[in-house]
Chain A
């Protein structure tokens, strides 16, 4: 980073305040989003549902429980939840959710954001291996398979979105979309939106790639890796999983529904953008939860087909950006 900082977004005090706001919003809002999605699903199944606050009640309960160290696990197992929470918080600070002027500035790179999320995934997969149980290893191998297949799609879609802006800097991409709505509704953007939607489902562990509420050994991916966590560690893992979902939905909405994101750090603009961001992610979550009612989990060996399809869309997006510009 020595002397290569390009002009553009620089770190300001107000920008840092925006980042802090985004992090606070993610921590407080992510469990509520999960609770809201479970509630939507419960109502569609004819059940009453546990209420939107249930994930927070679960977290509070887990925090009060006595920690328990499974026999034979080491530092990898113990630090994985912290790494996952930390990387997700960094991503929440970097992505321009409410304003393009975040405190992270030039470092808010699309590729860096994806790499940070993958670091969290890798840490948890290693923790799954560290437990030495059959399920931990199985979950880790499946998670890494899915991640390895999703990664090329992300890079291709990032390539398609960034060539026209000339930068992989997220605030620059979002800013360009805000100034010229034609970019966001162009074929390039629509193809990339569908490609990244499949990746969001895969990375957040939602149907049809992974079922977040399954207890069936043969279908577990994320659940299988975290079977040995208990008490406060499990609380961190669950909080990180919830935050990943809202961060991924927020990233998708920032890239493909950027309207309403503030271009300044004025208090009113930021407050309005915050409200709009909550509504956007809430609606995306509700649509996702409602869609899941109609869906069954894909057989594990069909998941590569889904991700290959999304990769094809991403390649088409790159080709379209070459031909249409």
Chain B
């Protein structure tokens, strides 16, 4: 315990200073200052999941803008969908979207979610996320950097 305490004191703050907020999406009055995110892996290679994990880690600290990951779509305001939508996940994605109370937004994270990326034309793939549920925000990249994910989520919280 003393070792951990010494490490806490030596390390201090790991979170990087907050960059300026980029304007983009029209502000969502109802979601101001607080956004709960449910991640849906619709068939991704898990590269985007690693980057989302980093975005909520101590260095990028998406928590400080009022963004939080939740365990249930019923608690969520934003669905962060990754990967090309596979045939098996299409129904699950639709149901998850229906289980999310309004107002709700869908963020397509990564090139695969936006337009199938590497997997375009694959036999097991239905298409990009917007072919299954309406997409409000897109975060390009393969995988997108944590800064880009945080910047997109900050457009929703407005913080």
Q: Which residues does A use to contact B, with CB under 8 Å?
A: 42-51, 54, 57-58, 60-61, 64-68, 70, 215, 217, 220, 223, 227-231, 234, 293-294
Q: In the bound complex, do residue B102 and residue A50 qualify as a contact, i.e. CB atoms below 8 Å apart?
A: no
Q: How far is the CA of A220 from the CA of B75 in the complex (A)?
A: 15
Chain B residues with CB under 8 A of A223 = 71
- Are A227 and B101 in contact (CB-based, < 8 A)? no
Contact A228 B63 (CB under 8 A): no
CB distance from B41 to the nearest CB of A (A): 14
Contacts of A60 in B (CB 8 A): 33-34
- Which residue of B14, B33, B69, B102 is within 8 Å of A47 (Cβ)? B14
Point out the residues of chain A lying under 8 angstroms from B74, CB to CB. 68, 70, 227-230, 234
A298 CB, min distance to chain B CBs, angstroms: 17
Over the window 1-45 of chain B, the binary record of Cβ atoms lying under 8 Å from chain A Cβ atoms (1 yes, 0 no) is 100110010011111001000000000001111111000000000
**Interface residue from B66, B72, B99 paired with A54 (Cβ < 8 Å):** B66
B65 within 8 Å of A by Cβ? yes
Partner of B61, one of A48, A220, A228: A48
CB neighbours of A70 from chain B (8 A): 74
Q: Are A57 and B33 in contact (CB under 8 A)?
A: yes
Q: Which residues of B contact A42 (CB under 8 A)?
A: 61, 63-64
A sample of 5 more A-B contacts (CB under 8 A), given A49-B63, A51-B64, A229-B75, is: A46-B15, A47-B63, A49-B61, A50-B66, A65-B102
18 residue pairs A–B, Cβ–Cβ below 8 Å: A42-B63, A43-B13, A46-B12, A46-B13, A46-B14, A46-B15, A48-B13, A50-B65, A50-B66, A54-B34, A65-B30, A68-B74, A68-B101, A230-B74, A231-B101, A294-B1, A294-B4, A294-B5
How far, in whole Å, are A57 and B13 apart by their CA atoms in the complex? 24
Partner of A48, one of B64, B71, B77: B64
CB within 8 Å: A-B pair count: 93
Whether A67 lies near B101 (C-beta < 8 A) is yes
Cβ-defined partner of A61 (8 Å) among B30, B61, B64, B99: B30
Chain A residues with Cβ below 8 Å from B34 are: 54, 57-58, 60-61
The 5 closest A-B pairs by CB, nearest first: A46-B14, A230-B74, A215-B71, A61-B34, A48-B64
* SS of B interface (majority): loop
**Contact B101–A66 (Cβ < 8 Å):** yes
B132 within 8 A of A: no
Q: A67's closest neighbor in chain B, by CB?
A: B101
**Complexed CA–CA distance, A68 and B75 (Å):** 11
CB-based contact A46/B66 at 8 Å: no
- B142 contacts chain A at the CB level, 8 A cutoff: no
Separation of A68 and B31 alpha carbons in the complex (Å)? 17
Residues of A within 8 Å of B1, CB to CB, are 294
Question: Which residue of chain B lies nearest to A58 when distances are taken between CB atoms in the complex?
Answer: B34
- Tell me the complex Cα distance, A89–B5, Å: 38
Closest chain B CB from A153 CB (angstroms): 26
Q: From B4, B33, B35, B36, name the one whose CB has the most chain A CB atoms within 10 angstroms.
A: B33
Q: A46-B12, A48-B13, A231-B101 are in contact. Are A215 and B69 (CB under 8 A)?
A: yes
**Do residues A47 and B15 form an inter-chain contact, with CB atoms below 8 A?**
yes
Give the residue name and chain of the A residue nearest to B71 (CB).
Answer: A215
Does residue B58 face the partner (Cβ distance < 8 Å to A)?
yes
- A217, B8: Cα distance in complex, Å: 29
CB distance from B22 to the nearest CB of A (A): 19
Return B67 CB to nearest CB of chain A, in Å: 8
CA distance A321 to B1 in the complex (A): 35
Q: Is the CB of B101 within 8 A of A65?
A: yes
> Distance in Å from the Cβ of A132 to the closest Cβ of chain B?
14
Shortest Cβ distance from B61 into A: residue: A47
